[in-house]
Chains A and B, each alone.
Chain A
Amino acid sequence: MHVERELPSEEARELLEVVADLARRELLPRAADDEAAGRFPREIFRLLGEVGLLGLPYPAEYGGGAQPAVVYEQVLEELSRAWLTVGLGLSVHLLACYPLATFGTTEQKSRWLPEMIGGRTLGAYSLSEPDAGSDAAALRTRAEFDGAHYRLRGTKAWTTHGGHADFYTVLARTADDPDHGISCFLVPGNAEGLRFAPPEHKMGLRASPTAGISFDDVELEPERRIGAEGEGLRIALAALDVGRLGIAACATGLAQAALDAAVEYAGERWQFGHRIREFQGVGFLLADMAAAVASARATYLAAARAADTGRRITRDAAIAKLVCTDTAMRVTTNAVQILGGAGYVEDHPVERYFREAKALQIVEGTNQIQRVVIARQIAGADAATI
């Protein structure tokens, strides 16, 4: 199905055409096989890098594309429509670059940003720990300053691209202070003492590696701390605003893919002498799915436009993440229903979409946590404690 896109410029329109073409040729044909085999498509990210997608939001002076959120979120949507592992992976990479690009000093940015966003390297964002998930502020990985270096010790969980990334944006504790005890670090993927657990065996997104990391006395030069000591949680939460918006766009792409598959099938499957879409029970379900996808897109684009004005989008991003990922879950569930038995087997992609949608209701803050954030925001309270 053709998606009418709202784009601010001719170059953005041309870029989205390239992205759609690339998605159709490079992602669609292999997504199902690679997901079944649990094969991470690292070279696809190199290709995205050559096209310039790995630095799209960031300043041109560091080699980025300087594109507004309204554009790069739609790039995420288009990629996720073809293969969520790739869309989500790009979102995570952009999230991993955000703290340095936003809170780094000019020296730090000149030193690391061009390579991070230049297309050849891939990033990861490591916040969650075995005992600090929704309650991220309870994290225990320590970064001790020994006078010359920071030394990181502890265990992270659930890191997307863990074991494959070239750099990790890591949140670690520099003090016990509950409000200002966490700092943000940029850790090279080949740092000594960095060890990766075998990737998790997941329900979906099996081509996207998710792994625990142990930091066994990882030595970091002090320049690799982003922002002041104790500012880490504030940085992490600002980054999560952007990350959640990205997840919202990815979820919309996934929902669109499920809708496309359901519409196609309902037009080809005959029962009782009719195409099944001619039964109102099916047609209305498709109509509700189409309405939900359009609403999800409008919601994340509203948040993207807000982000482009430069204002803080904590509430908008949480709403977009909640609305779009719940939509993806509902639309993929109904797509399975519309395909009937065919929806339940691996010959069609919808059972995979359904499994993939579930992850989006959990990552970057579960949808319960999004509600907590929204509730606090509308109550006017300080949201920085979640």
Chain B
Amino acid sequence: MRVVVLVKQVPDTWSPKRLRPGDFLLDRAAADGVVNELDTYAVEEALRIKEKHDDTTVIALTMGPPPAVEVVRKALQMGADEGVHVVDDALAGSDAMVSSLVLAAAIERIGFDLVITGVESTDARMGVLPAMLAERLGAAQATLAAEVKVDGREISVRRLAGGREFDVVAPLPAVVSVVEKINEPRYPSFKGIMAAKSKPLTTLSAADLGLDSNRVGLAGSATEVVAAEERSAERARVVIHDEGDAAARIVEFLASRKLL
């Protein structure tokens, strides 16, 4: 079985994010790049599936500027078998539609039975990519998975949506996005760090995927950010409505701003 797991580099969640003046793209140079935390659950789930099923290959895939290769390396250190980095200047500014086009092309080229992603990335926070991918790949989609089981050519997923649980079954190939509840991601071990050095890591350009540069990046994107303004202190006001857990949420809020 070939399991492709998607990983993305995002600005460190602990540092403030900024849009670049002019094109309003995320200023990736302004903060340290880290792996999108939600993706580490996807990597962990892929590795657990591999541990349960012989003959499984886990391929970590990212699309992003050159430094983004770090997140593929991290997935390899955790235990993924191979890495693929789609990198091309022409890809800068790709919106979700274009990203899904590029990633679907890469996934098809890699070959897959199962694609696992996080629920969303902590920078853009759209959460639409898994569904778009499934559509483009003609695969079943089971998003927001809190539990995944693979049995032969079938996958059973417990979805956690709108505060309720749904059990769904789908044939492979499928695209699954996983929620944080699903597992506890492992830390890379020193042996994993050493082993990652000799694992195959492929770099692909838009052309390698047969994609014309005018179909990708800012040029190919339907989304255009025309204006942005800095959030004022006033707008940043947070109102916590008591649903029985207000005290805990206030503490959490204060702690997140290091006021406790």
Give the B-binding residues of A (Cβ under 8 A): 10-11, 14-15, 18, 21-22, 47, 50-53, 56, 65, 67
Contacts and interface: CB of A to CB of B under 8 A. Distances in A.
B249 interface: no
Given A11-B197, A14-B77, A53 B187 contact: no
B209 interface: no
A14 B189 CA distance: 10
B56 to A, nearest CB: 21
Given A14-B77, A56-B190, 18 more contacts: A10-B197, A11-B193, A11-B194, A11-B197, A14-B73, A18-B77, A18-B188, A18-B193, A21-B187, A22-B187, A50-B186, A50-B187, A50-B189, A51-B190, A52-B189, A52-B191, A65-B190, A67-B190
Contacts of A14: 73, 77, 188, 193
Contacts of A47: 187
A51 B77 contact: no
A51 B197 contact: no
Contacts of B73: 14
Contacts of B186: 50
Nearest to A71: B190
A14 B187 CA distance: 12
A15 B195 CA distance: 13
8 closest A-B pairs by beta carbon, nearest first, are A52-B190, A52-B189, A65-B190, A14-B193, A51-B189, A11-B193, A51-B187, A18-B188
Contacts of A18: 77, 187-188, 193
B190 to A, nearest CB: 4
Contacts of B190: 11, 15, 51-53, 56, 65, 67
B193 A15 contact: yes
Interface in B150-200: 186-191, 193-194, 197
Interface in B182-224: 186-191, 193-194, 197
Contacts of A67: 190
Contacts of B77: 14, 18
A21 B191 CA distance: 17
Label chain A's interface by main secondary structure: helix
Contacts of B188: 14, 18, 51
A22 B186 CA distance: 10
10 contacts: A14-B188, A22-B187, A47-B187, A50-B187, A51-B187, A51-B188, A51-B190, A52-B190, A56-B190, A65-B190
Nearest to A56: B190
A337 B74 CA distance: 41
* Most chain A beta-carbon neighbours within 10 Å: one of B188, B190, B193, B197: B190
B191 to A, nearest CB: 6
B33 to A, nearest CB: 12
A10 B190 CA distance: 12
Interface in B65-101: 73, 77
A56 B194 CA distance: 13
A350 B32 CA distance: 29
A321 B187 CA distance: 31
Nearest to B190: A52
A365 B100 CA distance: 62
A18 B188 CA distance: 7
A50 B184 CA distance: 14
A211 to B, nearest CB: 30
A64 to B, nearest CB: 9
Nearest to A10: B197
Nearest to A65: B190
B198 to A, nearest CB: 12
Contacts of A53: 190
A65 B194 CA distance: 10
Contacts of B189: 50-52
B104 to A, nearest CB: 31
B72 to A, nearest CB: 13
Nearest to A55: B190
Nearest to A25: B187
A22 B187 CA distance: 8
B186 to A, nearest CB: 7
Contacts of B191: 52, 65
A14 B73 CA distance: 10
A15 B187 CA distance: 10
Contacts of A22: 187
Contacts of A21: 187
B255 to A, nearest CB: 10
A255 to B, nearest CB: 22
* Most chain B beta-carbon neighbours within 10 Å: one of A11, A14, A15, A65: A14
A164 B65 CA distance: 49
Nearest to B186: A50
A122 B194 CA distance: 24
* Most chain B beta-carbon neighbours within 10 Å: one of A18, A21, A50, A53: A18
A89 to B, nearest CB: 18
Nearest to A75: B190
Interface in B96-129: none
Nearest to A13: B193
